[in-house]
Amino acid sequence: MIFALLSRIPANALFLVCIAAASLLQAQAFVNGDLEGQVTVTSVQPPGWSAVPVGDPACYATEDNGATADLTNATGPLYNNGIMGNPYSGGSFVSGLHAFGTHHEGIKQTVSGFNVGCSYIIGLYQTVVKQINADATDPSGSWSVYADNTLIGITTPTVSNQPAISLNKPWEYRQVTFIATANTHTLKFMTTDDDADQLTPDGVRMGLDSVFILARSIADNANILGNDTNLCAGNTLLVGTGLTNAAHSWQDGSTATSFLVSAPGIYWVEVITGCGTLRDTIHVLPRSTPPLDLGADAALCAGQTLVLDATTTNAAYGWQDGSTLPTFTVSVPGVYWVDLETTCGTVRDSIAVMDTVITPLELVADPRLCLGASLVLDATTANAAYLWQNGSTSATLLVDLPGTYWVQVTVPGCYTVDSVEVTPLECAVALTLPNIFTPNGDGHNDLFTPIEQIGIRTMRTTIRSRWGLEVYSTASLGINWTGRDSPEGIYYWIIDYTDERGTTLSKAGTLTLLR
């Protein structure tokens, strides 16, 4: 019988079998572990097995027909939909779907003969089946294995590039281990997508075959008391092994299956089981209420915020407004507090936030700089200190070059920073007009337009006859008077304009129109 068992395990797992073969314990075995049966229609389970139903803690299906795995072979039960494939051994295997958020299929069987405290290997073979009509074509997936309602392991995913309809599906060996806590366990195998997306087309159909159980002589590195932990002053902690029908011996000589810890220290237990003696130790460290400090009372500048941080590991928070995040952002003056709740009790701290006003800065009204000139940047604020980008600490800064300038203005309790981009400006102004033009259509001097125009932002030109009648008016910088329908003669023009600094100026003159 041992030889038959070993023949089903791949060579790279034989080192685990050697441990078990030395002292196989009372027999534990699945009924029909090779999952043999007659494939007819969908939702049929192999003899000795049953479906994991909706409502079972291991099953996430939301409808009854989404919780029934399918006995499968090379021809069905639904060949054209991809619910088919080559078994690992024998004539059939089980396939299950994990898709849509409604389907989560698996099988289960109750097995007896376990020795409490002993370590067991559950071996299996898995493959990716895929299913066409359900668009469950994810190329990778796993099986989750449960002992009763406890997840004891998720197998490493298998990846397959084979199509859904294929007799070359790749089978791979996987195993999980667990320590028996009772003589009888219900073992469940649930199809598991190895990513979070089970929607079309990312659901998965997986295959399962040749499941078996091996017993190991004693649990390796048994952690029956759990991880080291902390204990608050005045609290108690119940430490237990979860192993029934086994003799216990604690550090103080007591023999119950659990021990009530009332003080920090090192606690250990020896458990005599049918496969040997287990010993585990747990360190219980002292824990006190963590310190809580929101900081000293503070001042808040207008338009600025202050983040209060009470972040503490494994704590719950209750701020004055009912919010429960570890931080609170203050935007207005007031008194703020937080209750910090930990396993060791609740502490409170508060902080007063006062208002400090800094008048908004305007370093210069017009940041344009005429070449060769200078500007004064002024940050004057009552009771303030100053720091400019060049290290100057005066309230004003004289600049004679374009560039970006900034200043930090600090008053008791807060500060503000302002900056200005000083840009170069060609400040020379020139406007020269011709005194004659000949709109005869020869392409030369056919328009009345400026000969020279520098530093002018806007202008309004009005042209009148020698009798004072307006013959043309425009806001165009080019003027572009054609003289159309106007007789030869002398005309008068006046131009109102503004330069790049916004200064308003005026200029007038005459011109002669010749055909």
Give tens-digit pLDDT for 14-25.
333 333 333 333
pLDDT at 413 over 80: no
Q: What is the mean pLDDT of residues 395-411?
A: 92
Query: What is the per-residue pLDDT for 217?
Result: 56
Residue 496 pLDDT: 96
pLDDT of 446 higher than 60: yes
Counting runs of H as helices and runs of E as strands, what totals does the chain give?
A: 2, 37
pLDDT band at 222 (very low <50, low <70, confident <90, very high): low
pLDDT higher than 60, residue 192: yes
Does residue 191 or residue 272 have the better pLDDT? 191
Burial environment of residue 486 by CB neighbours within 10 A (0 to 12, 13 to 18, 19 or more): middle
Other CB atoms within 10 A of residue 470 CB: 9
Q: Where are the beta strands (DSSP E) in 31-157?
A: 50-51, 70-72, 93-99, 103-104, 106-112, 119-128, 140-147, 150-154
pLDDT of 41 over the 70 cut = yes
130-134, 298-302, 473-477, range with the lowest pLDDT? 298-302
Higher pLDDT: 8 or 408? It is 408
Q: What are phi and psi of 5, to 5 degrees?
A: -70, -45
How far apart are alpha carbons 239 and 258 in whole angstroms? 5
Fold agreement between 229-287 and 430-513:
yes
Query: Does the pLDDT value for residue 291 go beyond 90?
Result: no
Question: What is the CATH topology of the domain spanning 2-216?
Answer: Jelly Rolls (2.60.120)
Taking the C-alpha atoms of residue 172 and residue 125, their distance in angstroms, rounded to an integer, is: 5
Q: What is the pLDDT of residues 453-464, one digit of tens each?
A: 988 889 999 999
Q: What's the confidence (pLDDT) of residue 3?
A: 34
Q: Which residues pair with 507 in a beta bridge?
A: 495
State the architecture of 430-513 in CATH terms.
Sandwich (2.60)
| pLDDT at 104 > cutoff 90 | yes
pLDDT tens-place string over residues 427-439: 778 899 999 999 9
Cβ–Cβ under 8 Å, residues 481 and 472: yes
Using the Cα atoms of residue 83, residue 86, residue 90 and residue 96 in order, give the sign of their dihedral: negative
Q: For residue 434, what pLDDT is reported?
A: 95
* Closest to 338 in 3D by CA, of 313, 318, 352: 318
**Rounded percentage of the chain residues whose pLDDT exceeds 90:** 60
In this prediction, residue 244 carries a pLDDT of: 77
pLDDT at 146 over 80: yes
Q: Does domain 229-287 have CATH number 3.80.10.10?
A: no
Beta strands in 148-228 (DSSP E): 150-154, 158-159, 172-179, 184-193, 204-216
Would you state the pLDDT for residue 5?
A: 44
When mean pLDDT is compared across 215-229, 267-281, 329-343, the lowest value belongs to 215-229
Cβ atoms of 325 and 279 within 8 Å: the answer is no
Among 476, 511, 508, 504, which residue's Cα sits nearest to residue 495? Answer: 508
Half-sphere exposure of 38 (CA within 13 A, CB side): 1
Distance between CA 473 and CA 455 in Å, rounded?
Answer: 21
Amino acid 335: pLDDT: 95
**Mean pLDDT, residues 237-257 taken together:** 90
- Provide the residue ranges of all domains of the chain, joining segments of one domain with +: 2-216, 229-287, 298-355, 368-425, 430-513
How long a stretch of residues is the chain?
A: 515
Q: Report d(CA 152, CA 229) in Å as an integer.
A: 22
pLDDT at residue number 194: 84
**pLDDT over 70 at 145, yes or no:** yes
| Greatest pairwise CA separation for the chain in angstroms | 129
User: What are the pLDDT digits (tens) for 165-174?
Assistant: 999 999 999 9
Cis peptide before 201 (omega within 30 of 0): yes
Q: Are 420 and 496 in contact (CB under 8 A)?
A: no
Whole-number pLDDT of residue 492: 97
237 within 8 A of 228, measured Cβ to Cβ: no
Q: Which amino acid belongs to residue 170?
A: P
Q: Is the confidence at residue 506, as pLDDT, over 50? A: yes
